[in-house]
Every structure is written in structure tokens, then in C-alpha cells.
Structure 1
Amino acid sequence: MRLRLLTWDVKDTLVRLRCSVGEQYSAVAKSFGIQVEPKALESSFHKVYRVQNKLFPNYGLDRGLSSQQWWGDVVKQTFRNCGVSEDWVLAQIAENLYSDYSMEKNWEVLPGIRETLHQCHQFGLRLAVISNFDRRLEQILNHCNLGHHFEFIMTSEKAGVAKPDIRIFQKALCMAGVMPQHSAHFGDDYINDYWAARNAGMHSYLIQQDEHIKNSERHVPKEHILKSPRHVLTILKNAEC
């Protein structure tokens, strides 16, 4: 194996939310004088998100939506399900949340990531991002002081296709000018990251810091499941980088 390019998922691979969606939504609502329990908002959000993603996948781009409109609809319906119906305040909450989630205050870098990315550069490897995210991602990574590590950031909004569609990986490989067999993808999701990247001809690994292994991952070779981002370095030392 001769690696030249490493691509990374972002959420729960490089960074994670500092608090739950319900807690953040509740805090922003409170700033407008509206009291809604975080648990109720959390439950409502996940239900709304699943429906929205099914009806309008990849931010509804093929239906003429923008990611901000898409997220605005998710936020508004989440609150409507919890009894908040005033359109003017829902619009303000949605706008504030869209802006807030682009800021570092809502994200934290996972342990070991900074050191791992630095060491990857030391190995002479090129780094990029492939993520089912919207246009805010570059801003988020820059605010978290991670953006400078990556040659480019391929979001599903920019690519027009979302993981597990292999075309997003192909677009990234074409942009980098690297053959799939000389690249590896790291992420936390079996379908979107591990399976999809391998289907595109790349090497891939699951970063699973949680000890609980999902049923879908039980047939993944143990050496392909990394308990920490630092274990990426072990993979690199065993490869002809």
C-alpha cells in the first residue's frame, strides 16, 4: 500500500458538538424569551431531520433550496412540534442558529486530532476533507484552527452529491489527481465512510472511540477499526508513504 492522500470526514471524526442540539436550540430560544425543554427539542429535531433528509436529500439542492433554507425549515418545524408557532420569532431563531453553528463556540476538536494531522504532514501526505456538510464547513474548520491542514474541503453541497454516493469521492480524487489505491479515507460511519470509500476503490478506516461496536461493523476487520485518531499513525508507519 503506497498512500499519497488521506481524506477525512468531519463531524465526530475531527470535531464534535460541545453540547446537544436540544441544549443549543433551547438556549437560543431563551434569548428570545421562549422556554422550551432541551429534551423535547432534541427529540423533535431528530424526527424532523430524518423526514427532511428523506424528502430533500443533500440540502434539497436538486429542488432549488439552499442549505440555509433547508436548515431554517428544520429549525422552524422542530420548534413548531414543541408548541412555538410565531413565524417572526422562528425566523429569528433559525437565523441565529445557522450563524452560531458556523462558530467555534459550538464545536470542539476531538482529542489527538491536531497531533495526528501534524504527523500526517510529517509523513509527506496530502490531506483533504470529504463531508456531508454545507458551505459553512470551511469557516468552522478555520475557526477551530484546522483548516490550514487541508488542501481542499469537499462538501456534499459543493459536490452536488452526498456520501455514500461514490461520486463525491471520485470528485475529490480527480481534484487531487490521485488514484484511489493511493488514498485512504477516515470517518466514523460504516456506510458513508468505510463502505462508500472502499466502493470507490480507496482504502478506508473507521475511527470509533466508543467501545460499542454496531452490528453493521461486526464484519469489519479489527485492524480497520481505530479506537483513537492517534492510531492513524500506526497505519501510516506500516504503509509505504
Structure 2
Amino acid sequence: MSLRLITWDIKDTLLRVRVPVGQQYFAEAKRQGLCMDPGSLETSFRNAYRTQSRLFPNYGLAQGMDSRQWWLDVVLQTFRLSGAEDDETVRSVAQQLYQDFSTARNWAVVPGAREALDSCKGLGLKMAVISNFDRRLEEVLEQCDLGGYFEWVLTSESAGVAKPDLGIFRQALSLAEVPPHQAAHVGDDYVNDYWAARMAGMRGYLIRPRAPPKPLQWNVPEEHVIHSPQQLIPKLEGLLLNSPT
């Protein structure tokens, strides 16, 4: 088996938020004159995000929404849950946060990610992105100087389906014109990244920066687990070395 394609998840695989969401929401609210508690905003955000994802999965595409409105609603509900009553100011905060999360201002490259991408490029592998991100992702990657590594970026918004739906992996393989057994996917979520990629016939690698409390519950072979992007490279080199020519 020869390996030709590596697809990457993004959030908490190659990029992560610079500071907790609650802190970022707090800072922008303070700048616009709202006094809020960052801890409360963090909790409220998680609740608002969970509810919005359940009611309007994949940015509400099936209900006629787009990702921008979806996120503005999440921010509005976050502040309401934390006790904010000035909807006009909150909407202004939401607009600014949406813009801020479209740039490198709120995102940081995971340590070792750039080196791993350079190594994959040096191995002659195609690289692409499969992410449950919204339409801002390509701009975010460009802002973080990662865009040039990928042949294309497939988001759940553009694909119309989100991981772990196998449809997004099949779209990716079709775009790359690569059969599943010649592709591998790398990500930090067991179901969305590892399990789904395996079900699509691809190799899967699960990034776990910290050891999970119950590692055996996932039934992931040790050779499929990495603790940083750079740890992927020796595994890929071994695959390529042992592949028939």
C-alpha cells in the first residue's frame, strides 16, 4: 500500500484558540462598555454552543441559516445566559468577535504543527483539510501562514455534511482522486476524526496531547495515537519505507 494523501483536522490539531473563549468574550465586552464575568461567559458559551449545535446542526444549513448568523446567535445567547440585557451592545460585540475569529488574532499554531506539515511536504504527500469549521477557515489558515500547505480545504459548511458523516470524507477523497486505502486522516476527536476516517476506509491517527482518563474505552491501537503533530512523521516514514514500489 502506498500513501498519497494526508488530511488534517484543524481546531486543536493544527490551530487552537489563543486564550479561553470566555476571556476573549469578556475582553471585547469590556472594550464596548459591558461589565461581565469571564468564568460565567465561558460556561454560558459552552451551554449556548451545545444547544445551538443540537437545534441547528452544521451551522443550520438545513434550516436555511448560514454560519455567520449561526455564530452571532451563539454569542447573543451566551451573553443573555450570563445576564446581559443590552442586546444592541451585545450584537455589536458579536459582530466584532466574528471578525476577530476570522483572523490570526485569536488563533495560534499548535507547537510542532508547522514542522510536521513541512515534513509531510518533504515526503511528497498531498495534504488537505477536512474540518467541521465554517467558511472563514481558508482565511484563518492564510492569516496563520498555513494555507499554502494544502491543496484544498473542505469545511462542513461547504460540504453540506459534518464529521463524523462519511460523506465529507468521500467528498475529500473524490477531490483528491485518491482511493481511501492510500489516504490517512489526522485529528483530535475519536468519533469525528479517528473512527469516521477508519469507517471511510482511510488510515486514522488520533492526536491526544494529554493521556485520556480511560484510554482503553476507545480501542485505539497504540501505533495510531500521537501526542503532537511531529510524532506523525516517523509513522508516515515507516509506511512509505515499507510500501511496495
Shorter-chain-normalised TM-score: which range? over 0.9
Aligned counterpart, 2:145: 145
Partner SS for 2:206 = strand
Aligned counterpart, 1:62: 62
Amino acid of the residue matched to residue 32 of structure 2?
F
More displaced, 131-140 or 82-91?
82-91
Partner SS for 1:128 = strand
Asked if structure 2 preserves the Cα contact closer than 8 Å seen for 1:25 and 1:38, the reply is yes
1:96-133 deviations in whole A, cap 9, x for unaligned? Answer: 01000111111110111111101111110000000000
Q: Percent identity?
A: 53
Structure 1 residues 65 and 201 mapped into 2: Cα distance closer, same or farther (>3 Å)? same
Q: CA deviation at 1:227?
A: 1.3
Partner SS for 1:84 = coil
Partner SS for 2:108 = strand
Structure 1 unaligned segments of length 5 or more: list them. none
Residues 169-184 of structure 1: matches in 2 within 5 Å?
A: 169-184=169-184
CA distance in 2, matches of 1:217, 1:134: 31
Aligned counterpart, 2:160: 160
CA distance in 2, matches of 1:218, 1:178: 28
Structure 1 residues 165 and 125 mapped into 2: Cα distance closer, same or farther (>3 Å)? same
CA distance in 1, matches of 2:69, 2:128: 27
TM-score by length of 1: 0.97
**1:220 equivalent in alignment to 2:220:** yes
Partner SS for 1:205 = strand
**1:20 equivalent in alignment to 2:20:** yes
Partner SS for 2:72 = helix
Q: CA deviation at 1:211?
A: 2.5
Asked if structure 2 preserves the Cα contact closer than 8 Å seen for 1:190 and 1:216, the reply is no
Q: CA deviation at 1:213?
A: 4.5
1:158-212 deviations in whole A, cap 9, x for unaligned? Answer: 0000000000000010011000000000000000000001011100010111123
Partner SS for 1:108 = strand
Asked if structure 2 preserves the Cα contact closer than 8 Å seen for 1:25 and 1:97, the reply is yes
Aligned counterpart, 1:231: 231
Q: CA deviation at 1:75?
A: 0.3
Aligned counterpart, 2:209: 209
Residues 43-58 of structure 1: matches in 2 within 5 Å?
A: 43-58=43-58
Residues 53-92 of structure 1: matches in 2 within 5 Å?
A: 53-92=53-92
CA distance in 2, matches of 1:40, 1:68: 23
CA distance in 2, matches of 1:85, 1:64: 28
CA distance in 1, matches of 2:91, 2:216: 39
Asked if structure 1 preserves the Cα contact closer than 8 Å seen for 2:208 and 2:228, the reply is yes
Query: Number of residues paired by the alignment?
Result: 241
TM-score by length of 2: 0.96
More displaced, 89-98 or 185-194?
89-98
